[in-house]
């Protein structure tokens, strides 16, 4: 008896929380089949990916690339009793979303349904948008229960009608912040079992906080305060705001910023940094595996993640990087978004400022840079909060119960 886990792409450097979950499920004895809608594009993988043993089935990323596979799968899928119902659901979705992507989702679901192991008892999708659509169609074809885990962008950019119908159709659903839970609960009918489960952080992967924070205060040009950010260079991360904030710091304060991550905005961010005259103070480290990122956490004095809500509604939930920084007693500055506030209370586990406000962000950075005792206080408090309420081993237990029950229910 096994569970098929449907992912948008695998493996991905930016989705350590998914790899962490899969690895734990494996260790707990749940047999998994990983199904990915896209092939990997990152230049590295995390060490945890090499520990995961579950097989991966890559569906056709674009249907025209594997037409015979899609055609053969259609011939198999249409023989299942649930095929016509799945086609009806898809056509209703297509009328409201007449896109090529919607057609691709159904084609991928045909392949998933046709190639699914006979041992599969449950389908479980990460992300409420595309992966959940493919999962829903395939589960309907094979007459199997399905569920999903919703995170951030997928919650806030998916149309209301689609969220409502998926919530009504799934066996159960989980989401990783209280803010996301409240939003989805307002759309769910009485039959759906919706749960709020924080991902948390695996202490085995991010152990040993390292030495006590340094006494650097920005006054010595030979010992600048080392500021770190980890995250893709995309609009919702707000790194353009951080550059404006850094440009506002007084000249007598000495700092260095390191950025870890890839992303579509890297080139434009480097251009902005050059225009502000900041290029010599910045290291662009690119996407890195977790063991190298851990080194940079330990070699830094301050962590900054200036997240924002974009015009499309895209936003962070509770970024794992804030918990990773906390695991190393690294003080954080971020923005007062609902998901982030579930982990950080400003002035207690970190400093929070309004999103998109470069001036207030600059003031918070200046305060943290020039007060090493404050950084130590915030870093220690964040570590205590992490260990008390965001331990991965404790937070994943309800999911283990749900998946164990699902794998034995049919």
Cβ 135 vs Cβ 125: under 8 Å: yes
Q: What is the mean pLDDT of residues 112-134?
A: 97
Other beta carbons less than 10 A from residue 407's beta carbon? 18
For residue range 250-286, what is the model confidence (pLDDT) as tens digits?
A: 999 999 999 999 999 999 999 999 999 999 999 999 9
Tokens of 392: 């991965």
For residue range 141-163, what is the model confidence (pLDDT) as tens digits?
A: 999 999 999 999 999 999 999 99
Distance of CA 40 to the CA centre of its chain: 16
Q: What is the mean pLDDT of residues 198-211?
A: 84
Domains located in the chain, CATH noted: 2-200+391-407 (3.40.50.2000), 225-389 (3.40.50.2000)
Within 8 A by CB and 6+ apart from 98, the residues are none
CA–CA gap between residue 240 and residue 231 (Å, rounded): 13
Given pLDDT bands bounded at 50, 70 and 90, which one contains residue 210? Answer: confident
pTM, 2 dp: 0.94
Phi, psi torsion values for 54, nearest 5 degrees = -65, 140
Q: Compute the mean pLDDT over every residue in the chain, rounded to the nearest whole number.
A: 95
Given pLDDT bands bounded at 50, 70 and 90, which one contains residue 349? Answer: very high
Given pLDDT bands bounded at 50, 70 and 90, which one contains residue 409? Answer: low
Q: Is the pLDDT of residue 233 over 90?
A: yes
Residue 204 is predicted with a pLDDT of: 81
Q: What is the mean pLDDT of residues 358-367?
A: 98
């Amino acid at each position: 008896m096994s569970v098929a886990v449907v992912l948008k792409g695998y493996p991905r450097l930016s989705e350590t929380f998914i790899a962490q979950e899969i690895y734990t499920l494996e260790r707990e004895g749940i047999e998994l089949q990983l199904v990915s809608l896209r092939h990997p594009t990152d230049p590295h993988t995390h060490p945890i990916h090499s520990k995961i043993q579950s097989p991966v089935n890559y569906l056709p990323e674009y249907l025209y690339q594997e037409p015979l596979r899609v055609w053969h799968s259609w011939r198999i899928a249409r023989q299942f009793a649930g095929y016509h119902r799945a086609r009806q659901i898809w056509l209703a979705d297509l009328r409201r979303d007449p896109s090529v992507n919607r057609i691709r989702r159904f084609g991928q679901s045909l392949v998933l349904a046709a190639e699914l192991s006979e041992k599969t008892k449950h389908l479980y999708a990460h992300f409420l948008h595309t992966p959940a659509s493919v999962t829903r169609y395939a589960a309907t074809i094979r007459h199997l229960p399905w569920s999903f885990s919703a995170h951030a962008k997928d919650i806030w950019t998916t149309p209301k009608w689609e969220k409502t119908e998926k919530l009504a159709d799934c066996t159960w659903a989980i989401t990783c912040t209280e803010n996301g839970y409240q939003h989805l609960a307002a759309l769910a009918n009485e039959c759906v079992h919706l749960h709020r489960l924080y991902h948390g952080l695996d202490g085995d992967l991010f152990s040993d906080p390292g030495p006590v924070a340094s006494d650097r205060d920005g006054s010595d040009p030979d010992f600048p305060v080392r500021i770190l950010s980890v995250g893709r260079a995309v609009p919702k991360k707000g790194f353009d705001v951080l550059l404006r904030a850094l440009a506002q710091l007084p000249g007598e304060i000495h700092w260095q910023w390191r950025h870890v991550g890839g992303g579509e905005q890297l080139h434009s961010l480097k251009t902005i940094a050059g225009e502000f005259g900041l290029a010599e103070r910045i290291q662009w480290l690119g996407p890195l595996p977790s063991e190298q990122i851990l080194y940079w956490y330990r070699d830094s004095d301050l962590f900054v993640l200036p997240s924002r809500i974009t015009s499309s509604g895209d936003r962070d939930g509770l970024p794992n990087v804030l918990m990773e920084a906390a695991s190393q007693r690294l003080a954080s500055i971020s923005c007062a978004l609902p998901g982030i506030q579930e982990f950080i209370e400003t002035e207690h586990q970190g400093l929070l400022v309004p999103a998109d406000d470069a001036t207030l962000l600059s003031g918070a950075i200046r305060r943290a840079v020039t007060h090493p005792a404050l950084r130590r206080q915030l870093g220690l408090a964040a570590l205590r909060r992490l260990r008390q309420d965001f331990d991965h081993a404790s937070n994943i237990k309800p999911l283990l119960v749900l998946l164990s029950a699902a794998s034995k229910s049919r």
